[in-house]
Structure 1
Amino acid sequence: MPFAIAHKNTHFLSALRLENRSGKIPLWLMRQAGRYLPEYRAIRSRHSFMEMVQTPKIACEITTQPIETPPQPIRRFQFDAAILFSDILVLPDALGLGLTFEEKLGPVFKYPLKTPLDLHRIEQDTLPPCLDYIPETIELIKNKLDVPLIGFAGAPFTVASYMIEGGTSKNLLKTKKWVVNNPQAFKKLMEILSDLTIQYLQMQINAGVNAVQLFDTWAGALSSSQMKELSLPYIEKIIRAIEPSVPVIFFSKACSSFAELIKGVNPQGISFDINADLRRMREDMPHLAIQGNFDPDILLGSQEAIRKEARRIVDSMQGDPGFIFNLGHGIHPETPIAAVQTLIEEVRR
């Protein structure tokens, strides 16, 4: 069972229940403890990415940044939640695909799934024991945080696409060939991943995370009919399997396009991309928490531009008991710390 909430700041969790009437908009940012921070870059200069993820003490340090000067990001910026430092691809890595992160290329699998015959390599009923570093990391983090901790996983379609493509792809052509030419094999892969993802998220919940977020980053490569057939049934299966006391947030770069379909699988919240009109989304889905959707590109602009866009979003959702301020995607590594501070100050007004 998840740990009892021992922290005082519960605005984030209240918003996920549509019960935040404190007058304070809860705020956290995707990749908030990432490469834009000098503390992160200092750690990264000494360790590979996978070493950081798989070493609980280091992953805890990155998540919480427990240093004296400056204070940790959660306190520096007064975020209302932290998110586990990890990656959506640690699950396929544990299945033997050999994940590395290469400069200017990003994630690369040494042993991708080249044909449906490769499915036998990953087909198993239980999580590989090599993922035991995840609960150990969460337990360390929970001892340091005074805000809720968010766990996460990649949604089956997005994870499958990385496994087939061998890394990041602009067009997912290899994945689409599987979908068209080997539909049963692709669905089998999705079943394997959805079952293991349920176990993976439950592992995080048992270790103490207070909410989880599902990232279906590349769902925008699907048509509406493909989304209904190849992504959403597996997302719904995962959401239904998670115990009701732990909220599930769904994120995709295509959330604004597929909002009507996504709300049908009943996540507790949807994190929207930059294309969504949040006020209109609230009208269409009064019973779901709404998270988003500041454009992270604007954080590379002037303070005036940052404040203007933050005010626009806040004004559109002011007083909404189920609104969580976030980005439409993750922070860019080039983002100045002062830009993040300006954004937060404006939201806090």
Structure 2
Amino acid sequence: MVGILMAGVMACATGENANKFGLVYQGAVKENVKGKVNIKPVKYEVNGIQVAANLYLPANFDEKKKYAAVTVAHPNGGSKEQVAGLYAQKLAELGYVTVAADARYQGESGGTPRLRDYPENRIEDVSGMVDYLTTLPYVDTNRIGSLGICGGGGYTLAAAQQDKRIKAVATLSMFNSGRVRRNGYQDKDVAGMQGRLERAAIAHNKELKGEIQYEGFLPPGATDDELRAQMEKLPVNTLYRDGIEYYGLTHKHKNATGSYTTESFMKLMAFDVEDRMDMLTQPLLMLAGSEADSKYMTDDAFKKAVNAKKKELYLVKGASHIRTYWVPEYVKDITAKLKQFFGENLK
């Protein structure tokens, strides 16, 4: 266990406090250097709420040229400074203009109550990134793709179902938020569905009176030792155990709490990205760890994408869900596959 945690710490050598942009992934941009990938913090609005994002510009960027671009949506409970930023930077290194934004109500973006997690908001956030890219004179609006990670993957699929400005769609370790909130993880708590809805209704009434209730997989204020103790209770290489390690220990960021408002269940449980997968017609790449206990969600959504012009399910050999976020050999494999996919479909 110690070896695993130390490997994660090494992967996060560039910590939030050591990086001027707050980035917490290995190899993150530390400063903007001419001729290399640069990062530009930007702000824009989606439906009147301010969004905070990082715009990544490729090496030797020339504002007079036209570039293909990719949006990157972060996982549930995450932030733009973590895995979304990692893959945004990797794609920028391949020559794409990329944007990784904090979801509204989360991270540095606006919106109250904080940590509200409504599917419609997250879907609009993906299209909002596309909106922003279309305002940039150096972006070719006919060559915009989208990558979504974990929960951001489910919401990216939903956005692409209705937003055909997105010309190619990729997901990594896709998490179908509505299905899990409704049925429990791996569909193991369908019997608890009505109880969760009742709890959400009570939380909604409390919210109307100004009392916000939260829940999530990271106990607020837990020490590192307490988090490690919680991990020991969970099976190795599973989503929630690895999630505690990634979000709570090795790649911790103040804006990534792993929490959401309990009231959000009312909206989340009525959502399921699988319901409209036949509306997705763009080229589709879905990546998942071969050992991920969440792979069933990628498998099921992929099967229902019957109208995708061309689609591929790619398994990252040996990887679990969270390990696709940072383990160097997996990141290298995933980046190579994204290079091929977006290279072919954003020509």
> Scaled by the length of structure 1, what TM-score is found?
0.35
Q: More strand per residue: 1 or 2? A: 2
Q: Could you tell me the TM-score, scaled by structure 2's length?
A: 0.35
Q: Relative contact order, CA 8 A, sep 6+: which one is greater?
A: 1
**Structure in which a larger fraction of residues adopt helix:** 1
